[in-house]
Amino acid sequence: MLAHAQGSPFHTIAWKNSIEETFGYKPLYLVATEDEQIRGVLPLFLVENILLGKALLSTPFAVYGGILADSEAARQALTQYVRTLADFFQVQYVELRNAWPEQCAGFAPAPRYVTFTQEIGPDDQKVLLSIPRKTRAAVRKSLGFGLTSRVTLDPRTFESLYSENLRKLGTPSFPASHFDTLLRNFRGNIDIREVIHEGKVIAAVMSLYFRDQALPYYGASDPAFNALQPNNFMYYDQMREAGRAGYRTFDFGRSKRISGSYDFKCNWGMTERDLPYEILLVKKKEMPNFSPNNKKFQLPIKIWQRLPLPLTRALGPSLVRLVP
């Protein structure tokens, strides 16, 4: 997994352990071998709840997953075994969150997301000039407000900001233990960078680090300080600090094309790539759609956005488990 060119943090044992510990989903990691050599792997979880029924996912709460194989024979062997498992467990469907076309198993395409990446390095000015003019101007403006940043491994302030942002989006919050578990299992390859204004944390991002890649995975800011451009400062600051630390790729993560997140990321001029997700329907007759853009979820989202924050933080962890 670490050696394969298309590996990701979500293929690691650290991610497996984190998801298993926090959410209790059953890991079914597959390995293809030849002459006692590992030729392919597939991280897979069996998820079962009242909303999904049963499903096999690669992998829950991850933007990337799918098969890593160094031969076509290994890829085909893993694909066939997935089909066998799907029939054995009588799941509704199988979802592979592939990052690259070479990972595809030949299931039905589910083209919902794109991802964004950018080359970075130790030269701050070069990183800044790689940003398109309009966004670069916003970044320069943010640099004039006296914002500073610091790295921490204490998730309390970050978790509070993040859960509040999720409530505004109409999305259930994660259990606080999720962030504690990630910090423990990815220790040495994870941190939280907080943005400070006059002693107050106004934005924060939890990032994963994998080989030469920096992945800002969970980010949030206090909308009361939007005039200070905290998000523009935060992501530029993360890019330059990661470049100084020796990382060469900034992975801005996935977004749906019709979303505010997509529009924001487009303005950074990064390389955009379709994510070739796949779904194998087993018992289910139509493609699952748990996107917030689904009309069925519009009323629940509006109700959630109006609930008191303490209530959404209390109820969110139970609900988020239903849509991994």
**3-state secondary structure (DSSP) of residue 76:** helix
d(CA 300, CA 322) in angstroms, rounded, equals 14
- Domain map (residue ranges) of the chain: 9-112+275-298, 121-247
**Can you give the pLDDT at residue 289?**
76
d(CA 162, CA 107) in angstroms, rounded, equals 34
- Tokens 């076309």 sit at which residue? 101
CB-based contact 114:273 (threshold 8 Å) = yes
Helix then strand then coil, in percent of the chain rounded to 5, is: 40, 30, 35
pTM of the model: 0.94
CB-based contact 38:78 (threshold 8 Å) = no
d(CA 106, CA 96) in angstroms, rounded, equals 10
**Can you give the pLDDT at residue 92?**
97
Residue whose C-alpha is closest to residue 103's, from 10, 215, 240: 10
Low-confidence ranges of the chain (pLDDT < 50): none
pLDDT digits (tens, 9 = 90+) for 30-53: 999 988 889 999 999 999 999 899
**Can you give the pLDDT at residue 260?**
82
CATH number of the 9-112+275-298 domain: 3.40.630.30
CB-based contact 172:312 (threshold 8 Å) = yes
Domains 9-112+275-298 and 121-247 share a fold: yes
Q: At what angle do helices 13-23 and 176-185 cross, to 10 degrees?
A: 150
Superfamily (CATH H level) for 121-247: Gcn5-related N-acetyltransferase (GNAT) (3.40.630.30)
**Can you give the pLDDT at residue 297?**
76
Bridge partners for 195 per DSSP: 149, 203
